């Protein structure tokens, strides 16, 4: 079970409708498909979400994986990832100087290694990790749209579809945020409502806005202030607002998770495989949060069904898993995963039992997404 070849293919996938959030509007997403082929002919798939810098910069980092990994056994995932970080950043496993960029870049390699290992031994990845304690994973209804009318209509539809948790982007103008939350609350009845201003507010603005919006019975506000403001800003918010606060962009690493949880600054961690560098990193962060009786909520970034399946494999064995988890594949005009059907049923997706990460790729869809990336010449379309 040695690594014979590693391939990286940038993909561009258009969204069904423009993705509107506090950072602007995106027409599509770029992901990098990672394929690891063993000497037995098994191919494992993963994907990297190049969100923190250009896809080209991330791909340059990824290409170093070839010299590190070729010829090595896929049974040594921890050691292989450690070697990747050591070669690129001169530090073991996680880089002291660039932990976030390293995690973002190499998460796709880790996922592909797990997929290849699971397929090689005929077991789903959750079984390799010690088994699952959840048979399904629950997701929130992710509201899309630009105008207040659009978000209210979509939120109402999601509530009808059975999602218990409805999640709305915020951080636009204060008037628009107030109008959106009021309209969505009306559309979803007594469903649970969470909002995410994506770091758009300063501390005082966040205190004012959250206290004003509290009358709409918000269950949680996710990362309302800059991640750079760190633990103190979230802690100040938590002390001055009645609505629970979640940390998202503030937490990528186990060290950041420990600082956040031990300070009492957040009631929930929203964190995914890409921020934590893969399945093992996600499990480490989740274990730290569990010590403080804090749940982790799967975070979505640019992703296809590959990340969705990998997230479910990782989360299925996490006791302190939230029930308003995030997925993003459903926003795409065309996903590259052919099976299983990843559409949540009443908000839930069953844990995959097929070997590896548990999916089959649609090779034609991969070809179309690769062609779409080449056509736009690597430029991000936003
Ligand atoms: Mg967020």
Number of domains in the chain: 2
- Tell me the mean pLDDT in the region 16-28: 95
How many Å lie between the centroid of ligand 1 and the Cα of residue 21? 10
For ligand 1, a single-atom ion, the residues with CB < 5 A are 196, 222, 248
Apex CA 179: angle with CA 207 and CA 328, to 5°?
85
> Within this chain, do residues 74 and 145 fall inside the same structural domain, yes or no?
no
Residues 6+ apart with CB under 8 A from 160: none
- Tell me the mean pLDDT in the region 157-173: 98
Alpha helices in the chain (DSSP H): 55-69, 77-89, 99-121, 125-128, 148-160, 174-188, 203-213, 230-240, 254-263, 273-276, 279-291, 305-315, 363-375
Convert the pLDDT of each residue in 192-240 to its tens digit.
999 999 999 999 999 999 999 999 999 999 999 999 998 999 999 999 9
> Within this chain, do residues 329 and 181 fall inside the same structural domain, yes or no?
yes
How many Å lie between the centroid of ligand 1 and the Cα of residue 312? 18
Instruction: Tell whether pTM > 0.85.
Output: yes
pLDDT band at 99 (very low <50, low <70, confident <90, very high): confident
> Within this chain, do residues 152 and 285 fall inside the same structural domain, yes or no?
yes
> Within this chain, do residues 201 and 183 fall inside the same structural domain, yes or no?
yes
Asked if the structure places residue 381 within a domain, the reply is no
> Within this chain, do residues 168 and 67 fall inside the same structural domain, yes or no?
no
- The answer to whether the Cα torsion of 224, 226, 231, 233 is positive or negative is negative
Q: State the Cα–Cα distance between residues 222 and 167, nearest whole angstrom.
A: 10
Q: State the Cα–Cα distance between residues 247 and 23, nearest whole angstrom.
A: 17
What is the domain extent for residue 267?
A: 130-357
pLDDT band at 376 (very low <50, low <70, confident <90, very high): confident
Asked if the structure places residue 274 within a domain, the reply is yes
Asked if the structure places residue 143 within a domain, the reply is yes
> Within this chain, do residues 232 and 366 fall inside the same structural domain, yes or no?
no
> Within this chain, do residues 186 and 53 fall inside the same structural domain, yes or no?
no
pLDDT at 153: 98
How many Å lie between the centroid of ligand 1 and the Cα of residue 261? 17
The CA-atom distances, in angstroms, between 44 and each of 31, 55, 120, 289, 291 are 16, 21, 9, 30, 33
Res 381 pLDDT > 70: no
> Within this chain, do residues 169 and 240 fall inside the same structural domain, yes or no?
yes
Burial of 56 per CB tally in 10 Å (0-12, 13-18, 19+): exposed
pLDDT at 85: 86
Task: Give the CATH number, domain containing residue 367.
Answer: 3.30.390.10
> Within this chain, do residues 218 and 339 fall inside the same structural domain, yes or no?
yes
Task: Give the CATH number, domain containing residue 204.
Answer: 3.20.20.120
Asked if the structure places residue 382 within a domain, the reply is no
> Within this chain, do residues 117 and 161 fall inside the same structural domain, yes or no?
no
């Amino acid at each position: 079970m040695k690594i014979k070849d590693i391939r990286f293919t940038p993909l561009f996938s258009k969204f069904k409708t423009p993705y509107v959030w506090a950072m602007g509007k995106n027409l599509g997403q770029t992901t990098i498909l990672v394929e690891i082929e063993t000497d037995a002919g098994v191919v494992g798939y993963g994907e990297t979400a190049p969100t923190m810098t250009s896809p080209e910069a991330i791909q340059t980092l990824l290409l170093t994986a070839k010299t590190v990994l070729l010829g090595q056994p896929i049974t040594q995932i921890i050691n292989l990832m450690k070697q990747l970080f050591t070669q690129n950043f001169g530090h073991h496993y996680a880089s002291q100087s660039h932990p976030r960029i390293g995690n973002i870049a190499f998460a796709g390699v880790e996922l592909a290694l797990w997929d290849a290992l699971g397929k090689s031994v005929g077991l789903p990845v959750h079984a390799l990790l010690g088994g699952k304690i959840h048979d399904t994973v629950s997701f929130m209804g992710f509201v899309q749209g630009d105008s207040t009318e659009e978000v209210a209509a979509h939120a109402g539809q999601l509530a009808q579809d059975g999602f218990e948790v409805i999640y709305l982007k915020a951080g636009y103008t204060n008037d628009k945020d107030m109008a959106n939350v009021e309209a969505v609350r009306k559309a979803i009845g007594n469903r649970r409502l969470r909002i995410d201003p994506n770091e758009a507010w300063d501390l005082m603005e966040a205190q004012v806005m959250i206290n004003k919006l509290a009358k709409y019975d918000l269950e949680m506000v996710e990362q309302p202030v800059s991640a750079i403001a760190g633990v103190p800003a979230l802690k100040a918010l938590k002390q001055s607002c009645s609505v629970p606060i979640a940390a998202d962009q503030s937490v990528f690493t186990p060290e950041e998770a420990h600082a956040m949880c031990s300070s009492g600054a957040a009631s929930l961690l929203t964190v995914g495989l890409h921020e934590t560098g893969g399945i093992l990193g996600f499990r480490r962060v989740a274990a730290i949060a569990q010590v403080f009786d804090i749940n982790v909520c799967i975070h979505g970034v640019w992703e296809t069904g590959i990340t969705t399946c990998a997230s479910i494999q990782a989360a299925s064995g996490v006791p302190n898993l939230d029930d308003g988890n995030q997925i993003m594949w459903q926003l795409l005009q065309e996903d590259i995963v052919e099976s299983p059907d990843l559409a949540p049923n009443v908000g839930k997706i069953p844990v995959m039992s097929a070997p590896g990460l548990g999916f089959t790729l649609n090779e034609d869809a991969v070809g179309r997404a690769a062609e779409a990336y080449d056509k736009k010449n690597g430029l991000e379309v936003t």
